[in-house]
Structure 1
Amino acid sequence: MDDIAMDDDPTSDDADIVDEDILTQPFPGGPTDPSILKSFKSHVATAIWNGADERGLLKCHNYLFKISSWPWWERGNNATFVNIAEMSGLAQLACYTYRFVNKIVVSNFVESWQPETNTCHLTVGEMTITLDDVATILGLPIVGKFMRKLSERRAIALVVNTLEIDEQEVTHEMYSAGDNSVRLEWLRAYFHNVTDNDSMERIACVDRAYLLFLLGCSLFSDKTGTRVPVVYLSLLSNLTTVSSYAWGAAALAYLYRQMGYASRSDVK
């Protein structure tokens, strides 16, 4: 099977704080072989082991209010747009954002998370989140095609061609957002309204913009909560094949990576 393979997320601020020197030393009182579980030296468990104050509860981001700001499900005369969005298999993500999360439980799981194995090390053994969990909870495909990273020039061309926006304006927006991304609010403001009276080209552009917006608010959100990498547009250019990608596998890989970042002692 062809699992989707996402490149490193360019939007994560935590990617810049890795100290490679401390990732190659053993955890005191833990593994003595530095080739096993190397990142324990920078793990939050190490800080606690050494007597540091616990960092408190992690903040769990929720962008439900952003999704609610683009209420396509409440609008009339937009059946064509709705049908295309639903055919993609991603439209249901608008309903899956949580209204409440137990920060104590989440924080405790993060403190027991080990990036090398992508598992929680508990007193009862190891446990993890599986592809089956993702498929069951989100209803997303876990096998399918993959994507590749884009250069800045190709990223700009991708936005221009798929969303039909002037190149100069796209360049300015991506420069403002940074990291080959566009702002979520920019997408909503530009494409918030569409009806069946619009051309099929316009409806298709709005669908791509909305699905990109939805991905930035759900599966691939970052702690800024303001932008989304345009690389995902490469998967949305042909709206009839969006459902053929392994979105569930990508979501799980992204979650694993973010859990790994959150397990570092200097991440708040």
Structure 2
Amino acid sequence: MEDRLQPGPVYPELLTQQEFHRSKAIWEGEDSSSLRCRSHIVSHKGCLVSNHVVDLIRESQFFFIHRIVGFKLNVDLITTLVERWRPETHTFHITIGEATVTLHDVQVLLGLRIRGDVVSGTTAYNWRALVIELLGNTPGDDDIKGASLRIGWLLDKFSSLPEDANEQVLHQYVRAYLLILMATIMFPDKSGNDIQLVYLPLLRDLTTIDNYSWGSVVLATLYRNLCRASQLKSRDIGGLLILLQLWAWERIAIGRHVG
């Protein structure tokens, strides 16, 4: 029993990053604070999504993401999991062994595709021109900086669908709402105020967005954020954290949601 309570890995030659790991500070009594979760779900509660927009979202793999808007995160559970995440293995080290979130979990829990086209492309765009083309509105100088678009501007321009909206306008609203889902839930920005427009080109043709393996990029982003958050100086964590929480409820008895 005494050996099991010794801090650090049993085989330091395998887990080589212990010196920089969050658990080191915890063992030494230096760190007991919870991480700040960069999931800005409250940011778009004011966004009115019409039935026409929801109908198009329903036909895509993003419908479940749409449904979890407003889902409350358990910060303590997420922090506890991060303390057990090892960047060397991309697994959680717990008393019964190792475990991790897999592509299969992403598909089952979120309904996102794990096979298909790679979510990739060029960033050589005139981003303002692209916003005008695909969203039908012109952002001001204070609303767009490089590939970053202010969330407040997007919410103001797309708060409600006009009653006489044609198909082109409807598609602009769908793109805007998908950007909001990506910025606030799937790939939240550190600031919480901006949307990264790198995904906008992939939303040009709404009939092809289901061809992409969004589940793969979501999981890769979560892994990267877990690795960063497990470092000594980290105080926050991003990524699709609701996936991590649902996975923990499904796979680990301790911390499971009841009722």
Q: Secondary structure at the match of 1:218?
A: helix
State the partner residue of 2:44. 67
Task: Please point out which of 131, 135, 141 is paired with 2:103.
Answer: 131
1:64-143 superposed matches below 5 A: 64-72=41-49, 75=50, 79=52, 81-97=53-69, 99-143=71-115
Deviation of residue 97 (structure 1)? Answer: 4.0
The within-5 A match list for 1:231-242 is 231-242=198-209
Percent identity over paired residues: 31
The aligned residue for residue 170 of structure 2 is 203
How far residue 234 of structure 1 moved from its aligned partner, in angstroms, is 1.7
Query: Paired residue for 1:48?
Result: 26
Secondary structure at 2:205's aligned position in 1? coil
Q: Unaligned 5+ residue runs, structure 1? A: 1-26
Q: Is the 8 A contact 1:113 1:263 kept in 2?
A: yes
SS of structure 1 residue aligned to 2:137: coil
Whole-Å Cα distance in 1 between the matches of residues 198 and 186 of structure 2?
14
TM-score, reference length from structure 1? 0.75
Equivalences, count: 229
The Cα of 1:229 is off from its aligned counterpart by: 1.0
Q: Is the 8 A contact 2:48 2:160 kept in 1?
A: no
Output the amino acid matched with 1:130: T
Counterpart of 1:260 in structure 2 is 227
Deviations 1:169-216 (A, max 9, x none): 3665222xx6x2212221111122214522222221111111111111
Aligned CA-pair RMSD: 2.6
Please state whether the residue corresponding to 1:182 is helix, strand or coil: strand
CA contact (8 A) 1:88 1:241 kept: no
> TM-score scaled by structure 2?
0.77
| Contact map agreement 2:119 2:214 (CA 8 A) in 1 | no
In 1, are the aligned partners of 2:39 and 2:188 still within 8 Å (CA)? no
Between Structure 1 and Structure 2, which shows a larger proportion of helix residues?
1
Distance in 2 of aligned mates of 1:32 and 1:106: 25
- Which consecutive unaligned segments of at least 5 residues does structure 2 have? 1-6, 236-259
The Cα shift of 1:41 comes to 2.8
What residue is the counterpart of 2:189 in the other structure? 222
Q: Secondary structure at the match of 1:194?
A: coil
CA displacement at 1:125 relative to structure 2: 1.1
